[in-house]
Amino acid sequence: MDNMCGHCELCVNSGGVLLWDGKDCRVVRVEDADYPGFCRVIWRDHIREMTDLIPSQRSSIMEVVFGVELVIRQLFLPHKINLASFGNMTPHLHWHVIPRWSDDRHFPEPIWGKTQQIKLPERNKVSDETLALELKNHFLRENIHG
């Protein structure tokens, strides 16, 4: 089932700190001090688009994305969550789950936009281990296997 291309960044590397490894996808934390809790949900096989998946697989990855969103909201208390699936630079299906605050570095721009603020307030500090445990517990409760 592992259909890896061998040269794609997300096929050869984890894409961040591994928090959860499911049947079809994994959840990693992006190391970004400005956006604690920023995670990616990465499809295991080298697939380019959501429509390359069968409907049950589409539902499966979105259950994981929504679970990650819920856990991030509970632990980090952001004002908003941004969900994004670009893949322009890395055409391997993955979703960004990004906590946002009205006083974050780029608000109201996307996090890849122009910096708007220099000094940032303190955010909830949550270890990789705590975040991983909360994701695991949520997925177990909801019977999500990803």
Mean pLDDT in residue range 67-74: 98
The pLDDT-based confidence of 3 (bands split at 50, 70, 90) is low
Ramachandran bin of 34, using left for φ above 0, alpha for ψ from -120 to 50, beta for the remaining angles: alpha
In the block, residue with structure tokens 């975040």: 131
Given a contact cutoff of 8 angstroms between Cβ atoms, the answer to whether 48 and 40 are in contact is: no
pLDDT tens-digit series, residues 113-142: 888 888 778 888 999 999 999 999 999 999
Given a contact cutoff of 8 angstroms between Cβ atoms, the answer to whether 15 and 6 are in contact is: no
* Whole-prediction pTM: 0.90
Q: Which CATH architecture does the domain made up of 9-141 adopt?
A: 2-Layer Sandwich (3.30)
2 pLDDT exceeds 70?
no
